[in-house]
Structure 1
Amino acid sequence: MLCRTASRIVNRNEVTRLEETCSRVLSFCNSNSFREGISVHSPIIKLGLQDHLYLNNNLLSLYAKCFEVDKARHFFDEMPYKDVVSWTGMLTAYVKSGNHDVALSFFDSMLIYGQCPNEFTLSSVLRSCSALGEFEYGTCIQAYMIKQGFDQNPILVSGLIDFYSKFDFTGEAYKLFINKGNHDTVSWTMMISSFVQAQRWNQALLLYIDMVEAGVPPNEFTFVKLLAACSVLGLNYGKLVHAHMLLWGAKLNVMLKTALVDMYSRFQRMEDAIKVSNLTSEYDTLLCTAVISGFAQNFMFQKAIAAFCKMRISGILPNNFTFSSILNVSSLMLSLELGQQIHSRVVVAGLDDDVSVGNALVNMYAKCSDKIEDALGVFGGISLPNVISWTSLIAGFAEHGFHRDSIHLFMEMRATGVKPNSFTISSIIGSLNAAKSLPQTLMLHGLVIKTNLYKDIVVQNALIDFYAGVGMLDDAWQIVHMMNHRDAITYTSLASRMNQMGHHELVLHIITNMYNDDIKLDKFSMASFLSAAANLGMVVTGKQLHCHSVKSGLGRWISASNGLVDLYGKCGCIRDAQRAFGEITVPDIFSWNGLISGLQSNGFISSALSAFDDMRLAGVRPDVVTFVLVLSACNNGKLVDLGLEYFQSMSEIYDVVPQLDHYVHLVDMLGQGGRLEEAMEVIQTMPFKANAVIYKTLLRACKAHSNIPLAEDMARRGLELDPSDPAFYILLANLYEDSGRHDLGEKTRNVMREKRLRKNPSHSWVGIRNKVHLFVAGERSHPQINEIYEKIESFEAEFKNHGYLYQGMRTGDSNYHSEKLAVAFGLLNTPSKTPIHIIKNSSICRDCHDFIKFVTRLVGKEIIVREGNRLHSFGKGECSCKGS
């Protein structure tokens, strides 16, 4: 009897030890998510411990972590005994797997079976309510918490703060936070996260200060949220938070490194981002993806590709976000080959059915492939296209010029029940803009007003761009004034469109609007303002913008640098243009075109053609604009044979198809060189239907070489195309008179009078102290007109004393041309050594040309007159055109 009792004691002790062993194994495997821990299940059954509630709860947790949720549920259903831990474990498994509907149903079952939930159960239920948008259900849970005395529980308070924040009730979340008191690190961090999520960046940082003053130590999650706020507030804030991380001794884990890389990347500080990422050897997929994305955002495409390759070599598997980032690189590089290689890796990784990757593929093929069918094929492979999928496809069709198709896709998208977002609407407005479809845009505008999207700044900016693009500036400004918030894009769109319409002075006024709205100039707005200053010849304003770009760091952006090259070239400051060009690290095609344009328009023909050669040696392929500039340089330099060689090389060497503008320059070059028959042959054999401009060009050459028969033919052909253009009559009449056929000249002028055709009055403008002053021939309304006329007359008296004579003085014509008035006004209102910059809407006449030359002999001042794309730089009695 005693022996049997002793044996039972030994067996019981042995079973207890086995229980403890199984418990330790399960606990260890649970902590490390080791699937091997499931093998303990079999010994538990053999030992007859299958009813052991503690062991079963551990097994349930392991099943949930390492296997599908269905297997965990099967085990749960077989458990003979269940407690609140069992139910909560299964509920948490559903929540983590994203089965929120099932989770809430399971919670209802738990209550029906009489189980009382604990704080962990209720926390999981709140997460499901947030995910499903079940606000009322969540408030019922809060009521239950209060009844059960859980309202001060820190875990549930944090859960409620997160719940209300997800529904944009940040105020309610903050009330909960304040009322609770005695916060721990988790609740402080949750409240900071709520402010960040609500885009209340400043409040997030202020709350962090309160947290520190309350003596609560922040953790790595706190700093991650703060860095997200700093990514919006500015680099200095980010550096400060980084310093606080070091002060608090926060462990630089991979999560924190990822947040820091993301923050520094947003402020173009990739050196700092990489330095942070290399501080420890720990890397994961998210960190690698952040590095790749950072390089992509900063247009460092080769480094992004290298980072992707390094990631794969390191054995870190890319996820859907990684592939989306690298596909974005191929889209920005317009590299179809790279995109196709990434596509093949996507298929190997089994992510070709992922929506985010599919969207990136649609975007890549839409931008990189000549065949829109490639993008359409990828789109068709997405099982459930979302709004981003549709928007990418719509934008792709628009970019390929299929504007009507993109509009049809938009209608199809709405028919499938997918609601457009602000970017969809923006893309459609862009298509309607390109198609100049005002009625459809007005209809879309009405549709948008009925939705919350009308208040979205992306949609508002797209509408502003459309209305400004079709010349409806009042409507565009009306939207601007009603906006609650404006950004740099708002004003840049306006500035760009107004530049296109020639409202350059109004463009410069936009700077004041941006200043009043506390909006900083960016690289795009800076380029628009520099363009406006260039077109007005306002070099002083341009230099002020140049100073601002240097101080603000915008000068390192190539768009701003190109704007400076254009500005100084158009204002006759060619050395400044060359200096601005020299400061560009890697000049692009726009940089080179700007330099060549400045050189050729200022009369530096050989330098312009040398720049063209340098451009080719630098590996930059010329485009259609480049050849317009090169042909113009050959034309101005009377280099006819060289111009013919360049024209021939366009299609033969550079695969650039000549456009009508190139033929106009070719005809002008041949015509001015006296090769009128060849010029006529070019018109007859070119692959375009001749327009009035090309006939007018050859007519002007006929006048220069006194070829009346061909001139009459050109005038007849030109007037058939444009009967209301008086230039044909004027050029022909002048030719007759120059050839001694005054009767024909008068007859031609009479025909023009009978048709009531009048030459548009030429006008000139000059910018003084950031204000543009416009002058028309015979101007009498200007406040300083008496002083201006007196100044001209005083110069003419001086000319007579020095023996300088020109045609206007001989005829005694007092109806002064606009450029004379502008010159006199500039001399009256600028310091003695300050150059005068004048712009004229037509060619400067010989009379005024001589007048300005003589003026510079007397005053020792530089006067620059721009006519179209050509500049006359007068100084010391000479002109840069050398009389040509």
Structure 2
Amino acid sequence: MLHPMLQTNVLPDAHLFVALLHACAVDGSLFQGKQLHVQIKEQASRFDTFVGNALIDMYAKCGDLDTGLRVFLSSSNRDLVSWNSMIGGYAHHGFNDKALSLFYDMQLENIQPSRVTFVSALKACAKIEFRDEGRLVHAQAIEEGFDTGVIFGSALTNFYAKCGKISDACCVLEKQPNRHIGIWNALVAGCTQNGDGEKALQVFEKMRHDGYMPNEVTYVCALKACTGLASFDDGRRIHMLIIDNKMEKNSFVESSLIDMYSASGSLDDARKIFDGISSCDAITWSAIVTGYAQHGRGEEALLLFEQMQAEGVESDLFTLVNALKACTCLVALDVGELIHGLAVENGFETDLCLCSMLIDFYSKCGSLDDAAATFNHLPKHNIVTWSAMIGAFSLHGNIQAALGYFESMKQHGVKPDDIVFVSLLSTCAQMGLLKEGKQLFEAMIKEFGLTPTGEHYNCMVDLLGRVGCFGEAELLMEFSPAESSFVGWLTLLSHCKAHSRVTMGRKCFDRVTALDSGHASAYVLMSEIYEAAGMHEEAEIIRKMRDTGQVWKKPGQASVEINKKSHAFIVGDKSHFQIVDILAKLDVLNCSIIGTGHVPHAASVHSCGL
């Protein structure tokens, strides 16, 4: 109805404009809503607050809150409906502080809140930092007699649950004369979103025990609780309940089941559900693409993503981020550039999360210029984007550029986090920059008050071992967290080989095997240390220890994208259809490397089996 009306010369009246704006609000049709706004401006003298409120509501529900606020502020006859639309819009889209600010402003202008207003205000308070404001809103609602009804009860229950006050949320539920399904759902959802999945499942069971039939919202929240708890037996049990109640074909339930099975690693079960859907929407496509991407099955994730595009399903931000994650793992430059283009088309080009992924993607593909261009295009930066840029240059060994971004970040008032220091310290370790590494490690603790994690200690151990400072490295290992000990001692063992440190090497070997006797690399390194020192009998003993324990090293694997096709290579595997050409090219590259004066250190190279 909307499109033909806009193509004619018929002048809609106020009631028709309101109906059309409402349709745009429900469908999220911002573009068509803006077209209507143009017509309304042309006939402004014919309309009143009724149309203005519908316009504000349309912008608020479509998420264009800046334009909605301009319309709101330009209105000379703001009434309760106007205020409710703006407060509800801000609360719905997560601008909680702005919603609460308007809630207080309306009362300063002598506009009394309604039950709808209190519901929106409670929604805005449903975060732990706004818990005190929420209690005041609740008290005011009681004072003004708006603390009854299913909608208010649901909002109040949800508020207390999301703020971590589960006992208060349960009290609200217990006091309800009519425990409507919406209030039960609010409690289950609130517990889930607050990270208390165990309580969410308890409420779910109590609800069923008390004779209330769960609906699709209840099942979605319960499945999310199972996913968060990694309680996949409960997830399968709930799946059976869903089938018994004939709700397995609901799109939200289907996508939640796919999420749950994907999180458990049961991708075959997730795919079975997906393949059984006759018409997949964006939510289910996103769930299956994300599942494959997050479990390292990048090729399948990208095949599904390309199929999704071929079927004309619009990708949301979350899907693009996860598809990009798959591209990063596969170094699939062409597909990643396509995703970047889709992000620009859909208006996501300034999203900080996506752009940090793009920076990481381009750097992993070796395109630092594109990574820098993505960073520079952003109107603002946060710790994640700064960290991505520092990580990009650190990955490629450009410590000066990485430190330059580090200094610039500090000048912009952004405090570095532990991830930034991991990037910088790992680069210092790779390049043997002892002075710079020590300065960064000290600054991390003293200047920025950060407690080093196992990763930071391992970077420093790697650095100290690389430059031959084994005494300092061993001392540092005594202070490192227990969970990082294995990696630290194994790293130090590898440097003992490079520096021909037999005694220290044996000490590291004993520490590594005490923590994990089944790690093949330790046996390989220790036997090679003994061999290099001419201690052949000791080397043979280590090899026999490995054989007795049946400890064997898994072959390495790498992949590369060429002409939009991913090629995987496994050490020792000669099955690739172009293996002869590949080996010939490797010979040419080796000759070129030697021709530049590089002398291979054969003792540090293990046979690749080719």
TM bucket normalised to smaller: 0.7 to 0.9
- Name 1:546's counterpart in structure 2: 340
Contact 1:255 1:287 in 2 (8 A): no
**Residues 704 and 537 from structure 1, CA distance in 2 versus in 1: closer, same or farther, beyond 3 angstroms?**
same
Give the Cα–Cα distance (whole angstroms) in 2 for the partners of residues 409 and 433 of structure 1: 16
Give the Cα–Cα distance (whole angstroms) in 2 for the partners of residues 616 and 666 of structure 1: 23
What is the correspondence of 1:207-286 to structure 2 with a 5 Å cutoff?
A: 219-231=13-25, 232=27, 234-242=29-37, 251-286=46-81
What is the correspondence of 1:362-511 to structure 2 with a 5 Å cutoff?
A: 362-369=157-164, 372-373=166-167, 375-376=169-170, 384-511=178-305
Greater mean deviation of Cα atoms: 448-457 or 631-640? 631-640
Following TM superposition, by how much is the alpha carbon of 1:429 offset from its aligned partner in structure 2, in angstroms? 0.9
Following TM superposition, by how much is the alpha carbon of 1:364 offset from its aligned partner in structure 2, in angstroms? 3.8
Give the Cα–Cα distance (whole angstroms) in 2 for the partners of residues 310 and 721 of structure 1: 62
Contact 1:692 1:718 in 2 (8 A): yes
Structure 2 gap ranges (5+) = none
Give the Cα–Cα distance (whole angstroms) in 2 for the partners of residues 393 and 651 of structure 1: 42
Which SS does the other structure have where 2:247 is aligned?
A: helix
Contact 1:372 1:400 in 2 (8 A): no
**Residues 441 and 271 from structure 1, CA distance in 2 versus in 1: closer, same or farther, beyond 3 angstroms?**
closer
What is the correspondence of 1:19-168 to structure 2 with a 5 Å cutoff?
A: none
**Residues 386 and 701 from structure 1, CA distance in 2 versus in 1: closer, same or farther, beyond 3 angstroms?**
farther
Q: Which of these residues, 88, 95, 103, is aligned with residue 293 of structure 1?
A: 88
The answer to whether the aligner puts 1:715 opposite 2:509 as a matched pair is yes
- Name 1:322's counterpart in structure 2: 117
The answer to whether the aligner puts 1:566 opposite 2:360 as a matched pair is yes
Residue type of the alignment partner of 2:102: A
Which SS does the other structure have where 1:531 is aligned?
A: helix
Give the Cα–Cα distance (whole angstroms) in 2 for the partners of residues 375 and 667 of structure 1: 50
Give the Cα–Cα distance (whole angstroms) in 2 for the partners of residues 425 and 378 of structure 1: 22
Following TM superposition, by how much is the alpha carbon of 1:561 offset from its aligned partner in structure 2, in angstroms? 1.9
- Name 1:575's counterpart in structure 2: 369
**Residues 791 and 653 from structure 1, CA distance in 2 versus in 1: closer, same or farther, beyond 3 angstroms?**
closer
Residue type of the alignment partner of 1:320: R
- Name 1:751's counterpart in structure 2: 545
Which SS does the other structure have where 1:556 is aligned?
A: coil
Following TM superposition, by how much is the alpha carbon of 1:621 offset from its aligned partner in structure 2, in angstroms? 4.6
**Residues 699 and 475 from structure 1, CA distance in 2 versus in 1: closer, same or farther, beyond 3 angstroms?**
same
Q: Which of these residues, 681, 684, 689, is aligned with residue 478 of structure 2?
A: 684
Contact 1:219 1:250 in 2 (8 A): no
Residue type of the alignment partner of 1:328: K
Which SS does the other structure have where 1:756 is aligned?
A: coil
Residue type of the alignment partner of 1:258: N
Following TM superposition, by how much is the alpha carbon of 1:290 offset from its aligned partner in structure 2, in angstroms? 1.3
**Residues 676 and 779 from structure 1, CA distance in 2 versus in 1: closer, same or farther, beyond 3 angstroms?**
same
Following TM superposition, by how much is the alpha carbon of 1:462 offset from its aligned partner in structure 2, in angstroms? 0.6
**Residues 263 and 491 from structure 1, CA distance in 2 versus in 1: closer, same or farther, beyond 3 angstroms?**
same
- Name 1:663's counterpart in structure 2: 457
The answer to whether the aligner puts 1:698 opposite 2:492 as a matched pair is yes
Residue type of the alignment partner of 1:291: M
**Residues 396 and 667 from structure 1, CA distance in 2 versus in 1: closer, same or farther, beyond 3 angstroms?**
farther
Residue type of the alignment partner of 2:294: Q
Following TM superposition, by how much is the alpha carbon of 1:465 offset from its aligned partner in structure 2, in angstroms? 0.5
Contact 2:292 2:298 in 1 (8 A): yes
- Name 1:150's counterpart in structure 2: none
Following TM superposition, by how much is the alpha carbon of 1:794 offset from its aligned partner in structure 2, in angstroms? 4.2
Which SS does the other structure have where 1:454 is aligned?
A: coil
Following TM superposition, by how much is the alpha carbon of 1:384 offset from its aligned partner in structure 2, in angstroms? 4.3
- Name 1:307's counterpart in structure 2: 102
Contact 2:513 2:522 in 1 (8 A): yes
Q: Which of these residues, 745, 770, 787, is aligned with residue 581 of structure 2?
A: 787
Following TM superposition, by how much is the alpha carbon of 1:549 offset from its aligned partner in structure 2, in angstroms? 1.7
Residue type of the alignment partner of 2:532: D
Contact 1:779 1:785 in 2 (8 A): no
Give the Cα–Cα distance (whole angstroms) in 1 for the partners of residues 457 and 607 of structure 2: 38
Following TM superposition, by how much is the alpha carbon of 1:314 offset from its aligned partner in structure 2, in angstroms? 1.7
Give the Cα–Cα distance (whole angstroms) in 1 for the partners of residues 75 and 483 of structure 2: 68
The answer to whether the aligner puts 1:519 opposite 2:308 as a matched pair is no
Greater mean deviation of Cα atoms: 405-414 or 673-682? 673-682
**Residues 366 and 570 from structure 1, CA distance in 2 versus in 1: closer, same or farther, beyond 3 angstroms?**
farther
RMSD of aligned C-alpha atoms? 3.6
Following TM superposition, by how much is the alpha carbon of 1:435 offset from its aligned partner in structure 2, in angstroms? 2.8
Contact 2:458 2:484 in 1 (8 A): no
Give the Cα–Cα distance (whole angstroms) in 1 for the partners of residues 380 and 159 of structure 2: 25
Q: Deviations over 1:482-531 (max 9, x none)?
A: 22443323222223232221111222112223224421112111111222
Give the Cα–Cα distance (whole angstroms) in 1 for the partners of residues 210 and 122 of structure 2: 27
Which SS does the other structure have where 2:248 is aligned?
A: helix
TM-score scaled to structure 1, two decimals?
Answer: 0.62
Give the Cα–Cα distance (whole angstroms) in 2 for the partners of residues 607 and 374 of structure 1: 53
Structure 1 gap ranges (5+) = 1-203, 819-884
Which SS does the other structure have where 2:568 is aligned?
A: strand
Residue type of the alignment partner of 2:88: S
Give the Cα–Cα distance (whole angstroms) in 2 for the partners of residues 659 and 269 of structure 1: 42
Q: Deviations over 1:581-611 (max 9, x none)?
A: 2222332332222222112112122433443
The answer to whether the aligner puts 1:734 opposite 2:528 as a matched pair is yes
Q: Deviations over 1:190-211 (max 9, x none)?
A: xxxxxxxxxxxxxx5489799x
Number of equivalences? 608
**Residues 235 and 567 from structure 1, CA distance in 2 versus in 1: closer, same or farther, beyond 3 angstroms?**
same
- Name 1:530's counterpart in structure 2: 324
Residue type of the alignment partner of 1:254: T
Q: Which structure has the higher relative contact order (CA within 8 Å, separation 6+)?
A: 2
Q: Which of these residues, 393, 397, 402, is aligned with residue 599 of structure 1?
A: 393
Give the Cα–Cα distance (whole angstroms) in 2 for the partners of residues 392 and 287 of structure 1: 27
Contact 1:301 1:333 in 2 (8 A): no
Contact 2:520 2:553 in 1 (8 A): yes
Which SS does the other structure have where 2:117 is aligned?
A: helix
Following TM superposition, by how much is the alpha carbon of 1:719 offset from its aligned partner in structure 2, in angstroms? 1.9
> Which of the two has higher C-alpha Rg?
1
Which SS does the other structure have where 1:766 is aligned?
A: strand
Give the Cα–Cα distance (whole angstroms) in 1 for the partners of residues 84 and 20 of structure 2: 20
Give the Cα–Cα distance (whole angstroms) in 1 for the partners of residues 176 and 508 of structure 2: 60
Residue type of the alignment partner of 1:566: D
